[in-house]
Amino acid sequence: MTIQTIKTTPYADQKPGTSGLRKRVPVFQQPNYLENFIQSIFDSLEGLGGKTLVIGGDGRFYNDVAIQKAIRIAAANGFGKVLVGQGGLLSTPAASNIIRHYKAFGGLVLSASHNPGGPEGDFGIKYNVSNGGPAPEKITDAIFARSKVIDSYKTLDTPDIDLSKIGTQKVGDMVVEVIDPVADYAALMQTLFDFDAIRGLFASGFTMTFDSLHAVTGPYAKAILEGILGAPAGTVKNGVPSPSFNDGHPDPNLVYCKDMYDLLMTPQGPDFGAASDGDGDRNLIIGKNRFVTPSDSLALLAANAHLAPGYKAGIAGIARSMPTSAAADRVAEKLGIEMHETPTGWKFFGNLLDVGRVTICGEESAGTGSNHVREKDGLWAVLLWLNILAVRKQSVDAIVREHWATYGRNYYTRHDYEEVDSAAANALVDDLRGQLAALPGQVLNGLEVAYADDFTYHDPVDGSTSAKQGIRIGFKDGSRIVLRLSGTGTVGATLRVYLERYEPADGQHDLDTQDALAPLIGITENLAAIKGRTGRNEPSVIT
């Protein structure tokens, strides 16, 4: 079959962000926009001829069209085989597992994660390398450079693949195998967790609710929770993936899962509530009368991981993104293991995981995972929590309180200002950077500044350096303010402010979080003038 070389012109806005290229659907629908980016990915790779490529996504609007285009371009560029999830579905952690399990060359993950979907919603695409993790910066930089000069792409004129039917088909000389998106992932989970203990937990009358938010984890949660583990039918809510997420917002936080939170705070609510996001890599954990912050969840999972068979020998180390609270640091110190602070973005954990220096990783943005894949994994976190509950035979609230009594509590919150004017947001950050050198030693609102910098990460494995990863202002009492611009939005800029205060093991652990952090909120406004510079009187979202 003749390979077609299609002339094209470059787009200037195809720089991958923290998790690939994300734009509104109409942007991707521009002539050759998606094709240019995919071809730029393949042009930036060496040795792909005859190799296997994994393709899958979260089922959002435009996934079906994009997958067919990607398959044809892959065939024209010389891949020998494509593995694609049935219906085009693969959760992000499942895609990582497929890449690793079948020793694929890499994969295309079609998702905008927790961002809204639909014809006017968001779409995204990223390339994952052979370890199953997101491409490192040297590859994404090369992709962007290529996208700015690309003048043609390769494709084939072939019919669409039938993605509904498991089995093999051909596109030109390339084999396309449609696979069960859940089976390999479910098998992996059974090697990590004590499924008999979790079955016993459900058999004892333990109740839970899992909200898939009309996103990709619905089929996974139904197969594992209700199928293999025997949770009652109906445990999984909103379990059918929808291209528009049923016109909802697939972000598992207390804004979009408020009904679940309210239910868990009542005597009539279940014992445990959880949710995952659009592509299945984030999680929300709520026990009866206890919301567990993502930062605390990371620390608790690390402290209790040995209760699950896959981690019974202990963990080698913990890594967290810089804005994530230091709660996990205290666990690492007590366990005598390595603790690493990295920039935001799961790709920064990959090197540490690959050389065995860490086992469990996490980000404050509701992402936790381990060395079983190279992505964060929402359902994995839920299953580890269930394993811990089954072994400890305590409530979530009791486990959290016991943890604070041992390690102390890190009061922590994140204030998001979404879709801020980009110029105003960048000017705000630049001006705050200009103040950093003069801040150490100053007393602000009764707190003495210990350090103030713009975080630079030096990778201990490959020696690479990543600069300007977020402004940090630390105080002598352990409190901290972090401010950065997010790389996951598609319109304007998202300004994120992270606030943290440590309360020791014998201190007060039942304060209202926003009240406990009020002095830091005041300092932030005084330094950054967010209200005046953005026109926002309050954050879009507080988590």
Active site residues: 113
Residue 352's alpha-carbon distances to 83, 298, 349, in angstroms, are 27, 17, 5
CA 40 – CA 62 distance, rounded (Å): 20
Alpha-carbon torsion, ordered 144, 145, 147, 153, to 10 deg:
-120
φ, ψ (nearest 5 deg) of residue 330: -70, -30
Strand order in the sheet with 409-420: 443-444, 447-454, 471-475, 480-485, 493-503, 409-420, 541-542
CA 75 – CA 159 distance, rounded (Å): 13
- Could you identify the residue written with the tokens 């014992």? 271
Locate the DSSP E strands across 421-525: 443-444, 447-454, 457-458, 465-466, 471-475, 480-485, 493-503
Nearest to 316 by CA among 242, 371, 373: 371
Both tokens of residue 32? 């050759």
Tell me the Ramachandran region of residue 529: left when phi exceeds 0, alpha when psi lies from -120 to 50, beta otherwise. Answer: left
Kindly give the pairing relationship between strand 367-370 and strand 443-444. unpaired
DSSP run (H or E) holding 490: none
* Degrees to nearest 5, angle at CA 409 with 406 and 411: 175
Helices 396-407, 327-335: axis angle to 10 degrees equals 70
Both tokens of residue 315? 């963990």
DSSP run (H or E) holding 236: strand 236-237
CA 105 – CA 389 distance, rounded (Å): 38
CA 55 – CA 153 distance, rounded (Å): 19
Q: Is the dihedral of CA 209, 215, 219, 223 positive or negative?
A: negative
Q: What DSSP character marks residue 256?
A: T
φ, ψ (nearest 5 deg) of residue 399: -65, -40
Contact 117, 245 (CB under 8 A): yes
